[in-house]
Structure 1
Amino acid sequence: MADTLSPRPLRRRRLAILVAALAAVTALACWGAYRWAEAGARAALTLNGDQRLGLYASSIRNAVGRYDYLPFLVARDHEVLDLLDAPSTLGRDAVNRRLETANAAAGSAALYVVDRGGLALASSNWADPAQSFVGQRYDFRPYFRQAVETGSGRYFGIGVTTGLPGYFLSHAVRRGEALIGVAVVKIDLEPIQRDWAAGGERVLVTDENGIVFLSSHADWKYRALRQLPDAVTARLAQTRQYDRSDLTPLGLHDGPLMENGARLVGLPASGPTRRAYLMQELALPEFGWTIRFLSDLEPVKAEAAGAAVLTAMGILLLAAAAALGWQRRQTLRLQHEARVTLERRVEERTAELLTANRILREAQEELVQAGKLAALGQMSAALAHEINQPLAAIRTFVASTRLLAERGETAMVRDNLAMISDLAERMALLSGHLKEFARKGPARVEAVPVARAMDRALALLASRLREEEVQVDRSIPPDARVRGDAVRLEQVFVNLLRNAVDAMEGGEERRLTLTAGRNGEGWEIRIRDTGTGIAEAHQFQLFDPFFTTKEVGQGLGLGLSLSYGIVRDFGGTLRAENNPDGGACFVVQLPEAQ
């Protein structure tokens, strides 16, 4: 029929449907993995935030609790009572010195007493004319009015005399039932903020009006979370709680509320952009404050994106494996059909039995040859990458051996031939390691002399070192022996040395320093160069597969990743650091061979 599809368009349509289905499944799986990883990372972030909030609350309570007894003791002091009953110069001097001594012993910011009219009669800072509270009137301060009305008070504000912030605790001073004054201690909470800032935290404490007065970030202090009502602004101006502060809004943008009580918020970053945070709150009802902790959501997004990428890679690998399996089944089916056809032809044409057998043998040989070519095609790139430098070394040794033979130096000829034999054996072993890279398995463990492995790696790179005029300083003890595989350890050294030479290309000083020393964990081998060093942005990506800073076509970014895996299989570690005087240093830590 005219509308019947031919086999080729039908196969194309089926392939398009399969590709579309695979894309849809991959997208759904990536979305699910992203949401799942995001939820897990956010839950961990929330748990950490809850713990941090508890620590912050304890630090604040401890900082205030150390001094809450002071106003009570001052209010019971007989000299203070006498001064408030009958103010005199002699009594004021005695109380000033008494408060100065008590304040120094307790470590508080200031300790002072005011009469029932709010006038400060004595203070621990009486000796400093510029900072002294003596003679100042504080009847407008809420902590004074609270002590008069309820017997005690607590209040945070900026000092109108000193201009320094502090937390004020007050206690009424009574003679019998009569109020004669108020004792006040000022507590400096700045050390808490410095600890937060030093720890890189994002924490802020707000009062009942939503004004930030304690924060790990100095530019957040004395800012309102939201625009303040006029009545609140007027009341703050009257009490001078945040004297000489404009209390501009912080620019906090509220996002959705999470199920665990946390909230997504945005804060202005550089320019017009906003940075997203997870904000958690903890109330301090005894102070009327609220502690807020902000967690950066960028690591959450990165972890979720990584999970989505891994999921996509896993699905695509499974799809590729399924496609290869289907292709193999198709090949086996075609082979089976070919054998059936050949057998039928043999039965039908007995006269052509010998010819048919010859054709069958040729077909089988072609299939075997095709399999060999396919295997060679898969291994060619890796094999060329790994044996290129041994081949270059062999060519160098052959050239030098020819010259030595012409000179009649048979001993050196034998040495060169032995080295060529070792390199040939190494190339044979390298080809076998290609399959080891394709599957995870334990490496062969033996006692490997570090000096010999380093010498062979240097020999492989000898022509490159001479071409780049690299000076090599080598200090490796002959007794340095580690647990590992000789060939794979040489591969690690070759990768690290080649990277070091690449980093020094075009530099004025090109020097390689190779050392080995014993420590408590075995042997530490250091490969140090005088190149450009490691950029801070690349510190945590060096050993990721396919990460490279080289130009396109100059590397796949697999050398350091493979080296990291080899060293780890030996029970060791590989790390990178910058030298103080410039350049990079790769440190290989391996267990000592007993």
Structure 2
Amino acid sequence: MADTVSPRPLRRRRMAILVAALAAVTALACWGAYRWAEAEARAALTLNGDLRLGLYASSIRNAVGRYDYLPFLLARDHEVLDLLDAPSDLRRDAVNRRLETANAAAGSAALYVVDRSGLALAASNWADPAQSFIGHTYDFRPYFRQAVETGSGRYFGIGVTTGLPGYFLSHAVRQGETLTGVAVVKIDLEPVQRDWAAGGERVLVTDENGIVFLSSHAEWKYRALRPLPGAVTDRLAQTRQYDRSDLPPLGLHDGPLMENGARLVSLPISGPEASRRAFLMQELALPEFGWTIRFLSDLEPVKAEATGAAILTAMGILLLAAATALGWQRRQTLRLQREARVTLERRVEERTAELLTANRILRDAQEELVQAGKLAALGQMSAALAHEINQPLAAIRTFVASTRLLAERGETAMVRDNLAMIGDLAERMALLSGHLKEFARKGPARVEAVPVARAMDRALALLASRLREEEVQVDRSIPPDARVRGDAVRLEQVFVNLLRNAADAMEGSGDRRLTLTATRNAEGWEIRIRDTGTGIAEAHQFQLFDPFFTTKEVGQGLGLGLSLSYGIVRDFGGTLRAENNPEGGACFVVQLPEAQ
């Protein structure tokens, strides 16, 4: 009798083959899903890094670009030229005060002037003996040699006098073809990297030698990406670029270069358990500075997303296998079919719960990738805002003084009026400061229909006390339907600047009269502010709207009012010009488009 093969071992062998095949397919599919998800996540990470690098480059260029005109202007200042031509204590004192005022207005770290031997003759920090540059020699600094050789220079380094880092911009001062000295501005870049640190990202900037001098992490600063050659360390010691820093290696280990130009690297991470962590490093050169920005992206979210994709793939294959097994089992007996249905429903519920959990993990990982730190370096206070807020502050002080006297006399009605005016001025100051918030949001300037008469009334109210005290007569002829495109607060500031200048010009006049008119023309509304002052000297006609130009005594103005007013009117799509009246005095003409 022939031996018969039992079906049970055969089914077991078939089942083992199916399980092995399913395991192989699952492993291959999971590996492919992991690689695909990793590549997609890394591509998204690279795209985000490119965007962040562009923003960081813009923040550096903007931080430096705000001041690159200062050395050029100082090199042409007549007081600076006189000091370099024939130094004296009187001229040095005048230039010191001029530099101090200009530095405070511009918001730079320091302004100073050195002679052609490199000796500092005048500086904005002259009043601080411990920090003053005066009397120190800087001929060994590259920015000095660059200015002497090429006319201008750029250089980052730690100050040998103050011990504080900064970016130096220099410009040669010449009289004819003769070099007489160098004008220098020092820019503080510390606020830029503080904004980076607040964003929670990892960014660093290196010089041409691979030395980190700006970074979102303080422990990375003044460290070299790789060990420095002896010639480089000798040159740095000579120029004292980083003062006496040892410049130890950062500990960066290079990995493979990716196809998109990024590189896998690893860095030691400080903390309770010091370890190395892998990052995706992207670079962007700043050729005008000779610097390179490097952005490090954490690869942990990439691994989490790729792992989530592999888990989802495995679960999908298992669900498909379960469905196939269910179809086979349904061809069995009704009892097995009912049992299989119960088993399948239970397994589907479990797999569905796992799928939802995996989906949540994947969604969280994707949100972490998409969420990037916000660009800081924004919202910096400018000289323009300080100039604008000073006027309502002065008016508030005047109203407070008069209110105190009125309260002592018991004149409650006038006290209430004064308090209402103080409240209005405070609200105006809040509106003025609100401009910075709008700029920080990078939103467009608010443009609305502004009644000219109302804006002029508010400007006159701010100056009412002075006009009464100086017995200035005001003649107004502004139609109530005169409405222009612009921003109410900024237009009022233009009027305040022009009215104050007119009042200043009439201080020595016997007949003090302001004539304010508004007429419609083909371009919109022409607003004229005439005074009976001394008029505009012919030599000053082409300098009126230049920043820091003023005919007033030192300490009575920064020379910013007309320059700011010109910029505001231009932003509204209008023009601002000045002319002399035939009968005497000056006239400022504001042309603005009519509001529809």
TM-score, structure 2 normalization: 0.56
* CA distance 1:535–1:223, change in 2 (3 Å): farther
TM-aligned CA distance change 1:466 to 1:267, over 3 Å:
farther
CA distance in 1, matches of 2:561, 2:98: 73
Asked if 2 retains the 8 angstrom alpha-carbon contact of 1:442 and 1:569, the reply is no
For structure 1, which segment, 495-504 or 281-290, has the greater mean C-alpha deviation from structure 2 after superposition?
495-504
* Secondary structure, counterpart of 1:76 in structure 2: coil
CA-CA distance at 1:414 after TM superposition: 70
Pair 136,262 (structure 1): closer, same or farther in 2 beyond 3 Å: same
Looking at structure 1, the residues matched to 125 and 382 of structure 2 have their Cα atoms a distance apart, in angstroms, of 84
Q: Which moved more, 1:264-273 or 1:85-94?
A: 264-273
CA deviations on 1:209-242 (whole Å, 9 max, x unpaired) are 0000000000000010010111000100000000
Aligned match of 2:139: 139
Task: Kindly indicate whether the alpha-carbon contact (under 8 Å) linking 1:346 and 1:356 is maintained by their aligned counterparts in 2.
Answer: no
Match of 1:464 among 463, 466, 476: 466
Deviations 1:34-81 (A, max 9, x none): 011111111111111110000000010000000000000000011111
CA displacement, residues 505-536 of structure 1 (integer Å, 9 cap, x when unaligned): 99999999999999999999999999999999
* Change over 3 Å in CA distance of 1:559–1:52 after alignment to 2: closer
The answer to which structure, 1 or 2, has the higher relative contact order (CA under 8 A, 6+ apart) is 2
Q: For each residue in 1:234-266, what CA deviation from the matched residue of structure 2 results, as whole angstroms up to 9, or x when unmatched?
A: 100000000121110000010111111111110
Change (3 A) 1:324 1:483: farther
Question: Are the aligned partners of 1:526 and 1:586 in contact in 2 as well (CA < 8 Å)?
Answer: yes
Q: Structure 2 CA distance, aligned partners of 1:223 and 1:341? A: 63
Equivalence for 2:310: 308
- Answer with 304-313 or 409-418: which moved more: 409-418
Using a 3 Å threshold, how does the CA distance of structure 1 residues 138 and 465 change in structure 2: closer, same or farther?
Answer: closer
Per mean C-alpha deviation after superposition, the further-off stretch among 167-176 and 357-366 is 357-366
Partner SS for 2:587: strand
Rounded Cα–Cα distance in structure 2 between residues aligned with 1:582 and 1:15: 109
Offset of 1:361 from its aligned partner?
Answer: 54
Q: Is the 8 A contact 2:133 2:161 kept in 1?
A: yes
Q: 1:91 to 1:343 in 2, by over 3 A?
A: closer
The Cα offsets for residues 313-345 of structure 1, whole Å up to 9 and x where unpaired, read as 111111111101111123379999999999999
- CA shift digits 1:284-304 (9 cap, x unpaired): 000000000011000000010
Cα displacement string for residues 385-414 of structure 1 (whole angstroms, at most 9, x for unaligned residues): 999999999999999999999999999999
Q: Is the 8 A contact 2:192 2:377 kept in 1?
A: no
Distance in 1, Cα, partners of 2:334 & 2:503: 50
Greater shift, 265-274 or 133-142, is seen at 265-274
Deviates more, 1:263-272 or 1:26-35: 263-272
Query: By how many angstroms is 1:486 displaced?
Result: 55
User: Secondary structure of 1:371's match?
Assistant: coil
Q: Percentage identity across aligned positions?
A: 94
1:67–1:483 distance in 2 versus 1, CA, 3 Å: closer
8 Å contact from structure 2 (residues 305, 366) kept in 1: no
| Aligned counterparts of 1:106 and 1:420: Cα–Cα separation in 2 | 30
Q: Which has the larger radius of gyration?
A: 1
Between 40-49 and 470-479, report the one with greater CA deviation.
Answer: 470-479
Q: For residues 106-161 of structure 1, give each alpha carbon's deviation from its aligned partner in whole angstroms, at most 9, with x where no partner exists.
A: 10000000000000000000000000000000000000000000000000000000
Match of 1:210 in 2: 210
Which is worse superposed, 456-465 or 305-314?
Answer: 456-465
Distance in 1, Cα, partners of 2:423 & 2:480: 23
Q: CA deviation at 1:269?
A: 2.1
C-alpha distance in 2 between matches for 1:49 and 1:116: 45
In the TM superposition, residue 415 of structure 1 has moved relative to its aligned partner by: 69
Q: 1:4 to 1:500 in 2, by over 3 A?
A: farther
Partners of 2:317 and 2:410 in 1: CA distance: 64
| Mean CA deviation greater in 539-548 or 178-187 | 539-548
Q: CA deviation at 1:86?
A: 1.0
Whole-angstrom CA distance in 1 between matches of 2:369 and 2:191 = 79
Cα offset, 1:179, TM superposition: 0.4
What SS does the corresponding residue of 1:129 show, helix, strand or coil?
A: coil
Which moved further from structure 2: 75-84 or 488-497?
488-497
Residue aligned with 2:372, SS: helix
Cα gap change, 1:147 to 1:11, in 2 (>3 Å): same
- Cα distance in 2 for partners of 1:513, 1:362 equals 66
| Cross-structure match for 1:126 | 126
Q: Give the SS at the match of 1:372.
A: coil
The CA distance in 2 between the partners of 1:370 and 1:131, in whole Å, is: 40
1:176-204 Cα shifts (integer Å, max 9, x gaps): 00001000000000010110001101000
- Distance in 2, matches of 1:282 and 1:437, equals 27
Gapped regions of structure 1 (runs ≥ 5): none
Question: How far is the alpha carbon of 1:541 from its aligned partner?
Answer: 66
Going from structure 1 to structure 2, the CA distance change for 1:2 and 1:307 (only over 3 Å counts) comes to: farther
Distance 1:295 1:372, change over 3 A: closer
Residues 342 and 490 (structure 1 numbering): CA distance in 2 closer, same or farther, change over 3 Å? farther
Tell me if structure 1 keeps the 8 A contact 2:173–2:181. yes
Q: 1:531 aligns with which of 495, 514, 533?
A: 533
After superposition, the Cα gap between the structure-2 partners of 1:79 and 1:585, relative to the gap in structure 1 and judged at 3 Å, is closer
The alignment partner of 1:118 has SS state of: coil
1:297 aligns with 2:329: no
Q: Deviations over 1:86-123 (max 9, x none)?
A: 11111111111111111111100000000000000000
CA separation of 1:380 and 1:84: change in aligned 2, threshold 3 A = closer
In the alignment of these two chains, the number of paired residues is: 594
More displaced stretch, 178-187 vs 380-389: 380-389
| Contact 1:573 1:589 (8 Å CA) reproduced | yes
Q: Aligned partners of 1:64 and 1:354: how far apart in 2?
A: 50
Larger deviation: 451-460 or 25-34? 451-460
Instruction: Measure, in 1, the Cα distance between the counterparts of 2:380 and 2:154.
Output: 77
Distance across 1 between alignment mates of 2:79 and 2:384: 91
Does the 8 Å CA contact 2:110/2:186 hold for their aligned counterparts? Answer: yes
Contact 2:379 2:439 in 1 (8 A): no
Partners of 2:545 and 2:224 in 1: CA distance: 45
Q: 1:449 to 1:285 in 2, by over 3 A?
A: closer
Q: 2:113–2:121: 8 Å Cα contact kept in structure 1?
A: yes
Q: CA deviation at 1:418?
A: 67
Tell me the C-alpha RMSD between the 2 structures: 26.9
**Are the counterparts in 1 of residues 192 and 376 from structure 2 also a CA contact under 8 Å?**
no
Over 3 Å counting, the alpha-carbon distance change for 1:240 and 1:368 in structure 2 is closer
Query: For structure 1, which segment, 487-496 or 294-303, has the greater mean C-alpha deviation from structure 2 after superposition?
Result: 487-496
- Specify the SS of the correspondent of 1:349: helix
> Relative to 1, partners in 2 of residues 1:588 and 1:193: Cα closer, same or farther, differing over 3 Å?
same
Give the drift of 1:493: 64
TM superposition shift of 1:490: 61
Helix, strand or coil at the partner of 1:131: coil
CA distance in 1, matches of 2:280, 2:254: 10
Partner Cα distance (2:19, 2:508) in 1: 48
2:204/2:216 contact within 8 Å kept: yes
Secondary structure of the equivalent of 1:375? Answer: coil
Say if 1:281 and 1:477 are closer, same or farther in 2 by CA, change over 3 A.
same
Change in 2 beyond 3 A, CA 1:249/1:91: same
Between the aligned partners of 1:414 and 1:95, the Cα distance in structure 2 is 48
Change (3 A) 1:446 1:6: farther
Cα 1:220/1:584, change in 2 over 3 Å:
farther
Superposed structure 1 runs of 4+ greater than 4 Å apart: 1-4, 332-594
Q: CA deviation at 1:8?
A: 0.9
Change (3 A) 1:161 1:43: same
User: 1:443 deviation in Å?
Assistant: 48
Deviation of 1:310 after TM superposition, in Å, equals 1.0
* Secondary structure of residue in 2 paired with 1:370: coil
Secondary structure at 1:379's aligned position in 2?
A: coil
Q: Is the 8 A contact 2:379 2:440 kept in 1?
A: no
* Cα 1:45/1:505, change in 2 over 3 Å: farther
Cα distance in 2 between the residues matched to 1:235 and 1:49: 34
**Contact 1:346/1:353, CA 8 A, preserved across alignment:** no
Q: Is the 8 A contact 1:382 1:434 kept in 2?
A: no
